Amino acid sequence: MKLLRLTPENTKFPFMRFRRVSYPFSAVLSILAVLLFIFRGMNFGIDFAGGTMMELRARSGVADVGMLRNLTEKLGVGDVQVQAFGNQSDVTLRFGVQPGGDAAQAGAVEKVRTAVSDGYDIRRAETVGPSVSAELVQSGTLGVVLSIFAVLTYLWFRFEWQFALSAVIATMHDLTLTVGFFSLTHLEFNTTSIAAILTIVGYSLNETVVVLDRIREMLRKYKRMPTDQIIDMSINAVLPRTLMTATTVLLALFALVAFGGEVIRSFSLAMTWGVCVSVYSSIFICSPMMIYLGLRNEGAGRAEAAGKDESVAPAAAR
């Protein structure tokens, strides 16, 4: 029985030739991601911004988003965001924290509930106060920072400094593009998004370590081969494993995107983006960075120096 392969056997694709293209391309994307974060901002969910989110389903089978916007604008609860999701009958309604504390927030929820009760069933209603949202922001930020620090520590002790620094740059590249993805798509950024970012950090590290381990193994095995050729050989060797793993994860994520519902939509879409970016960065960002950081195959350098000495010696004898 012939096994399924996503790549041909014994591929010899020259990945390192594209480093002069991949780095400017990634630099432009990273700058755009930062600019989007600064000027467009993030669509913070009620976990971080505070407020109330209600999930409605139309009894008639079709939700009228325009009618709901007009209806809720007259209730005096501030700016109300109405957004369709899933099938034609589902819609989410979100408004911010009300002045006056918990009692005012509960009153606003009751106003909205009464206004939409004739044509819609309220499937879910969540309210987060400003103090709770501030704590969630601090906890989420602290979790991301500590995870990145743990990754740095692990890489620093496991690999030589060129390997470790290259992996850190690739991981930061993935995080930057993921934040830009949230800002560009304006997906709701909530606690599940933090979980997605932490998962992307772990997946990116896994892909990077697989490539780095093979590069280090090849450096010890082929003492006279140039560094760029060793990196190309290493990436081609792990390419079937990398693509098979990514494809398997993406198939599961596609199912979550299609059938997971609104609650985990931001998580599943961010993970889909993160898996693709992680595979790209492990090949075209992390691996070439070691060349720019001065990683050299010592055996190849000695062989080249010996060749020069041999060519000089006969000339001196003549």
The arithmetic mean of pLDDT across residues 45-52, rounded, is 74
Listed in sequence order, the residues at least 6 apart from 192 whose beta carbon sits closer than 8 Å to its beta carbon are 263, 264, 266, 267
Q: CA 228 → CA 13, 160, 214, 218, 232, distances in Å? A: 12, 17, 13, 11, 6
The arithmetic mean of pLDDT across residues 61-74, rounded, is 81
Domains, the chain, in order of start with CATH, read 15-43+133-302 (1.20.1640.10), 51-128 (3.30.70.3400)
Q: Please say if the pLDDT value at position 310 is more than 60.
A: no
The pLDDT confidence band at residue 298, using thresholds 50, 70 and 90, is low
The pLDDT confidence band at residue 240, using thresholds 50, 70 and 90, is confident
Mean of pLDDT over the chain: 80
Cα–Cα distance for residue pair 63/60, rounded to 1 Å:
8
pLDDT on residue 307: 47
* Burial of 226 (C-beta count, 10 Å sphere; 0-12/13-18/19+): middle
Sole residue written with tokens 């993921």: 178
119-133 pLDDT per residue, tens: 888 888 877 765 555
The pLDDT confidence band at residue 87, using thresholds 50, 70 and 90, is confident
Work out the percent of the chain whose per-residue pLDDT is above 70: 86
250-271 pLDDT per residue, tens: 999 999 888 877 778 888 999 9
Q: Are 56 and 91 in contact (CB under 8 A)?
A: yes
Structure tokens at 262: 């609104």
Q: Are 191 and 264 in contact (CB under 8 A)?
A: no
Degrees to nearest 5, angle at CA 312 with 307 and 316: 155
191-221 vs 227-259: helix crossing angle, rounded to 10: 150
